[in-house]
Amino acid sequence: MMFLNAIDPAVLDWSRAQFALTAGYHWLFVPLTLGLSVVMAIMETIYYRTGDEFWKTTAKFWQKLFGINFAIGVATGLILEFQFGTNWSNYSWFVGDIFGAPLAIEGILAFFMESTFIAVMFFGWNKVSRGFHLASTWLTGMGATLSAWWILVANSWMQHPIGMDFNPDTVRNEMMDFFAVAFQPFAVHKFFHTVSSAWLLGAVFVVGVSCWYLLRNRNVKMATQSIKVAAITGLISTAITAFTGDQSGIDIARHQPMKLAAAEGLIDGSKQAPFSIVPGVEVPGVLSILATHDLDGYVPGINCILYNGYTDPNGNQVEPATAKMEKGKMALAAFKEYRRTRDSQPEKAQAALAKFQENKAYFGYGYIQKPEDLIPPIALTYWPFRIMVFSAGVLGLVLLLLWWFERKGQLLRHRWLLHAGMWSVLLAYLASQSGWIVAEVGRQPWAIQDLLPVNAAVSKLSVTSVQTTFFLFLIIFTALLIAEIRIMTNAIRKHVQE
Amino acid sequence: MITYEFLQQYWWCLVSLLGALVVFLMFVQGANSQIFTLGKNEEERRLIINSTGRKWEFTFTTLVTFGGAFFASFPLFYSTSFSGAYWVWMLILFSFVLQAVSYEFQSKLGNVLGTNTYRWFLVINGILGPVLIGTAVGTFFHGANFIVNKDVMGDSLATAISQWSTPWHGLEAVANPWNVVLGLVVFFLCRVLGSLYMLNNIDDAILQPRLRRQVLTDTVPFLVLFLAFVGHLLFMEGWSVDPITGVVSMEAHKYLANLLALPAVSVLFLVGVLLVLFGIVRTLLSPTFLRGIWFSGIGTVLTVWALLMLVGYNNTPYYPSLTDPQSSLTLANSCSSEFTLMAMSIVSLIIPFVLAYIFYAWRSIDLQGITRKELEESEHKY
């Protein structure tokens, strides 16, 4: 049919831009939802246990800010779900059999929990018992966290597809093992890393707002007590984030060596690979330790992955991408032959099928036009990684100092620290966005690692359509973000609780 | 015996039910479309917004879950319709995005765009949401302009499996007036449901008689259009798929035949329609009757559920292609694998539990209707 022609490359760029834009905006609001839900639930628990009205008022204040932020997180999330269909239609069919399930489960298990109990939390103070109210506050946060679980399962599967098999008759990957998809270690690490980083962001947000009050000598008791709860929450979160980040590093080295090579700007591989702090400043051997937990661990560079091949930590010989691309083309050709002959010439079809099965692991490489296309944007993975790690270190330090001086009752004496606490909020957002940039940009050009590149995943749309929706989203989300920040700062400024 | 075919039917039944729940829960949109016409002053508008404001998240969540469940069970629809009818779905999404923030933002200091802008967002969503969703569902009966060719995945420069054949990307659906009629049916139904819901939820002597009059005003166009659509449905030609060869062809009186072949669905449909009418008529006749939303709401769920099952069962392609009938989507050619449907079916067993806690939580905060006094005293309000 005549309109079955190729897709304009500009559509791919704009669809990617739109996904990046909407995902980036969504991730501005979600970590605060996740983080504040823990802090406010802890505070309400203290109220429940002590009966002290101070804690009720304090919890309610943070819940109010939670509410302002929550709605916009929900609004930006809607687009992300449907965008898989609207802009990534091949993707939706090619892996929908696996990818759709976590999204559906997220709706059934998590979203209803969240939206039911948030109503009780906000409207139920004088209508339900204290115990039921406390349970509702925790369940609201649990709903949000459960939803993070399922969407991160879906994302982890895009980084490390597992538990499926390609079916040439239906032309898609089909799920073979639900538990492998839902509970693979990659997902477990990613979940705890992401969620604990969100708790950290929420804690830093509480700390930042509280420091602002202290600098103005307002709401002093509320601010000091909030810092106490948030600093401890934040420190625990920092530890979990660091530990799971280390685990994620190993996962990436094992399953996404190109992402690691790009994040380190590593052109050639080596043992005792050095870690680059900034270009030109290197610490010998540290990258090998981070990637393999072994000083002598071999870390492949971009050239090994593309052209030369290498030996992985288990001693297996890994072929270069050029060889994989060749096999990918063979898989595509065999697939085509099978589809052409399966109804009319069963013998030929069987032969084609056998040839396909032999090469199908490299099917996705068949869509890659040249090896260099396999390199993700290096600067956009190298720098965000450093920003993320550096920021997280600074945040941990600030939280530690705040916790220490609060304990000694000297918080108000160290105004520089209060300033640092306030500005930490920006750093937390920077770290959080950077983390996702590393994860998502580092996976390029794959939509699903080794399985489906973005150019074979995209919908066939006109460039102007996608451009139009891109700018509509840009305008709407930016306007809403400005409104949200102003509403939030107003609510913070107006709050009086002595 | 749980066969692949059974699982397909089971998931179509579930997705249809979720779709039906979305239509019912759009009473929120129906009510919001009347913020400025029903609410004569600030206090009344706030009553309306606060009344729907405690329910909008259920509508939104059900819509999202409907999307997720449809994706998981019939991914080819997800990829074909959402990418093809791009503009219809995008407009629906935009209107729901605006709605989601508007409640929280409209009454807050520093909201940049001003209270009335956010309220207009609610009105826009209140109109566009039901009309567009209704029109989109109309294409389930009247077809859409697409082709599906999975062989393209064999090309190194792969193009899209599903392609739309008009540059209008979904907006061409309005060219068939019956799609628009269904959009308007849904719109007026949501307005009726919205008024019935507010009657039950807002305890206010001034608004109540006004709401009763509004039920009548919206019921007239709803009934006329609904009956016209049902008449059209019973006589129209429809698409039919041969279960053995998979060949799609036209069949006279297809949906009438489906109604006769599926007696349980017919009964569901009739009971649903009667319940909708009972809720409306009783509300109009008895000035003390407040429970119309329960009857009409449950009736709406049953009616829409039946209609959607009608469109997918009995060898009917639920998403027919006008461009290439053989590309039409059927339950069998668009569904997930047997393994995935089975795994999802096990997960679906948890749904009654979810419904139970929703019901319990709703009851605990909703036993009394909202009053002006409560709004004045409440700390958390929109």
pLDDT tens over chain B, length 382 residues:
789 999 999 999 999 999 999 999 999 999 999 999 999 999 999 999 999 998 999 999 999 999 999 999 999 999 999 999 999 999 999 999 999 999 999 988 888 899 999 999 999 999 999 999 999 999 999 999 999 999 999 998 888 999 999 999 999 999 999 999 999 999 999 999 999 999 999 999 999 999 999 999 999 999 999 999 999 999 999 999 999 998 999 999 999 999 999 999 999 999 999 999 999 999 999 999 999 999 999 999 999 999 999 999 999 999 999 999 999 999 999 999 999 999 999 999 999 999 999 888 888 887 777 888 888 877 777 8
**In this predicted structure, what is the pLDDT of residue A461?**
93
Record: contact B164-A460, CB cut-off 8 A: yes
The parent domain of residue B359 ranges over 21-377
Closest B-chain CA to A489: B110
Q: Which residues of B touch A341 (CB under 8 A)?
A: none
The verdict on A434 touching B (C-beta cutoff 8 Å) is no
- The pLDDT tens digits for A181-206 are 999 999 999 999 999 999 999 999 99
Q: Which residues of B touch A112 (CB under 8 A)?
A: 61, 65, 354, 358
The verdict on A98 touching B (C-beta cutoff 8 Å) is yes
The verdict on A106 touching B (C-beta cutoff 8 Å) is yes
Q: Which residues of chain A have pLDDT under 70?
A: 1-5, 498
The verdict on A359 touching B (C-beta cutoff 8 Å) is no
The verdict on A74 touching B (C-beta cutoff 8 Å) is yes
Q: Which residues of A touch B57 (CB under 8 A)?
A: 74, 115, 118-119
Chain A residues 288-317 with CB within 8 Å of chain B: none
Report whether the peptide linkage leading into residue A445 is cis, meaning its omega lies within 30 degrees of zero: yes
CB-based burial, A300-339: b 16+ in 10 Å, e otherwise? bbbebbbebbbeeeeeeebebbbebbbbbbbbbbbbbbbb
The verdict on A3 touching B (C-beta cutoff 8 Å) is yes
Q: Which residues of A touch B245 (CB under 8 A)?
A: none
Nearest-CB residue to A329 (from B90, B156, B336): B156
Record: contact B365-A67, CB cut-off 8 A: no
Q: Which residues of B touch A472 (CB under 8 A)?
A: 94
Record: contact B380-A67, CB cut-off 8 A: yes
Indicate the residue type of A396: G
The verdict on A476 touching B (C-beta cutoff 8 Å) is yes
The verdict on A460 touching B (C-beta cutoff 8 Å) is yes
Nearest-CB residue to B160 (from A90, A103, A469): A90
**In this predicted structure, what is the pLDDT of residue A3?**
47
Contacts of A44 (CB under 8 A, 6+ apart): A55, A56, A59, A133, A134, A137
Domain range summary for chain A, segments of one domain joined by +: 20-255+380-490, 312-377
Paired strand residues for A299: A270
Nearest-CB residue to B149 (from A4, A112, A476): A4
For residue B263, the distance in angstroms to the closest alpha carbon of chain A comes to 30
Nearest-CB residue to A7 (from B149, B159, B361): B159
Whether B318 is in a domain gets the answer yes
The two three-digit tokens of residue A244, written as one number: 């799971």
For residue B261, the distance in angstroms to the closest alpha carbon of chain A comes to 30
Dihedral sign computed on CA atoms, order B204, B205, B206, B210: positive
Record: contact B83-A3, CB cut-off 8 A: no
Mutate to test the interface with A, among B7, B71, B96, B347 (most CBs of A within 10 A): B71
Record: contact A462-B167, CB cut-off 8 A: yes
Q: Give me the total of CB pairs closer than 8 Å, taking one residue from chain A and one from chain B.
A: 305
**In this predicted structure, what is the pLDDT of residue B370?**
82
Closest A-chain CA to B167: A462
* Nearest to B256, CA basis, from B185, B330, B316: B316
Under a CB-based contact definition with an 8 Å cutoff, are residues A266 and A302 in contact?
A: yes
**In this predicted structure, what is the pLDDT of residue A2?**
41
Whether B11 is in a domain gets the answer no
If one counts the domains in chain B, the total is 1
Mutate to test the interface with B, among A79, A112, A467 (most CBs of B within 10 A): A112
The two three-digit tokens of residue B107, written as one number: 């009454």
Calpha distance A480→B111 (Å, rounded)? 9
CA A411 from chain centre, in angstroms, equals 34
Q: Which residues of B touch A4 (CB under 8 A)?
A: 147, 149, 152, 159, 163
The verdict on A85 touching B (C-beta cutoff 8 Å) is yes
Q: Which residues of A touch B78 (CB under 8 A)?
A: 84-85, 92-93, 96, 100
Nearest-CB residue to B357 (from A68, A97, A116): A116
Residue B114 falls in which region: left (phi positive, over 0), alpha (psi -120 to 50) or beta? left
**In this predicted structure, what is the pLDDT of residue A314?**
76
Chain A residues 363-392 with CB within 8 Å of chain B: 366-367, 369
For residue B6, the distance in angstroms to the closest alpha carbon of chain A comes to 18
Whether B10 is in a domain gets the answer no
Under a CB-based contact definition with an 8 Å cutoff, are residues B118 and A485 in contact?
A: no
Record: contact A107-B69, CB cut-off 8 A: yes
Burial class (CB in 10 A: 0-12, 13-18, 19+), B249: exposed
The verdict on A11 touching B (C-beta cutoff 8 Å) is no
Record: contact B61-A111, CB cut-off 8 A: yes
Whether B16 is in a domain gets the answer no
Record: contact A171-B161, CB cut-off 8 A: yes
Nearest-CB residue to A339 (from B151, B162, B340): B151
Q: List Cα–Cα distances, A451 to A276, A327, A368, A443, in angstroms.
A: 30, 13, 11, 12
What SS3 string covers chain B? Answer: CCCHHHHHHHHHHHHHHHHHHHHHHCHHHHHHCCHHHHCCCHHHHHHHHHHHHCCHHHHHHHHHHHHHHHHHHCHHHHHHHHHHCHHHHHHHHHHHHHHHHHHHHHCCCCCCCCHHHHHHHHHHHHHHHHHHHHHHHHHHHHCECEEECHHHHHCCCCCCCEEECCCCCCHHHHHCHHHHHHHHHHHHHHHHHHHHHHHHHECCCCHHHHHHHHHHHHHHHHHHHHHHHHHHHHHCCEEEECCCCCCEEEECCHHHHHHHHCHHHHHHHHHHHHHHHHHHHHHHHCCCCCCHHHHHHHHHHHHHHHHHHHHHCCCCCCECECCCHHHCECHHHHCCCHHHHHHHHHHHCCHHHHHHHHHHHHHHHHCCCECHHHHHHCCCCC
Nearest-CB residue to B65 (from A108, A480, A487): A108
For residue A195, the distance in angstroms to the closest alpha carbon of chain B comes to 22
Mutate to test the interface with A, among B50, B82, B132 (most CBs of A within 10 A): B82
Closest A-chain CA to B93: A79
**What count of other Cβ atoms lies within 10 Å of the Cβ of residue A274?**
17
The verdict on A490 touching B (C-beta cutoff 8 Å) is yes
**What count of other Cβ atoms lies within 10 Å of the Cβ of residue A235?**
18
Q: Which residues of A touch B340 (CB under 8 A)?
A: 97-98, 100-101, 174-175
